[in-house]
């Protein structure tokens, strides 16, 4: 019995509601590992909204690749880890892209307020193309 998810299962899981943990290599230091809100639609890129010149953005720009882990914290435990290259990190998110990400984590009115207060001239959208996947679902039989 395999607990590894199928490609469709892992993409559906990643598209679900999870706080991700972003991991980025850093020269001479441990990898940066931080929680992050993200956006994902099956078959697409992973979208990460952040401020330009933040610790995350500088590490991502230098490394050119990231890993993201999403997990279920209730039984049955499950996770998806995705790794890939950064394919874009120089454009600000549109209001719709920012709302789609914030709306995964906040009720609609709160997401609107968050975007209104957070989307600014330093905002960027980092796009990561999934290349390598790891997954496990302890609930699979």
Q: Indicate the pTM of the whole model.
A: 0.93
- Where in the chain are the domains? 7-93+122-137
74-121 tens-digit pLDDT: 999 999 999 999 999 889 999 999 999 999 999 999 999 999 999 888
H, E, C per residue of 37-97: CCECCCCCCEEEEEECCCHHHHHHHHHCEEEEEEEECCCCCEEEEEEEEEEEEEECCCHHH
Give the model confidence (pLDDT) of 132-141 as tens digits. Answer: 999 999 998 6
Of the candidate CATH numbers 2.30.110.10, 3.40.50.40, 1.10.760.10, 1.20.1050.10, the domain formed by 7-93+122-137 belongs to 2.30.110.10
């Amino acid at each position: 019995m395999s607990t590894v998810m199928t490609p469709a299962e892992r993409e559906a899981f990643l598209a679900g509601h999870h706080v991700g943990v972003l991991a980025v290599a850093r020269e001479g230091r441990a990898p940066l590992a931080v929680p992050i809100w993200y956006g994902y639609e099956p078959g697409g890129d992973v979208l990460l909204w952040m401020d330009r010149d933040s610790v995350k953005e500088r590490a991502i720009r230098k490394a050119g690749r990231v890993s993201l882990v999403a997990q279920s914290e209730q039984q049955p435990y499950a996770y998806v880890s995705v790794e890939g290259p950064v394919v874009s990190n120089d454009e600000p998110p549109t209001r719709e892209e920012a709302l789609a990400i914030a709306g995964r984590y906040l009720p609609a009115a709160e997401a609107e307020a968050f975007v209104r207060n957070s989307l600014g001239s330093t905002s960027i959208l980092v796009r990561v193309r999934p290349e390598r996947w790891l997954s496990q679902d302890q609930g699979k039989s």
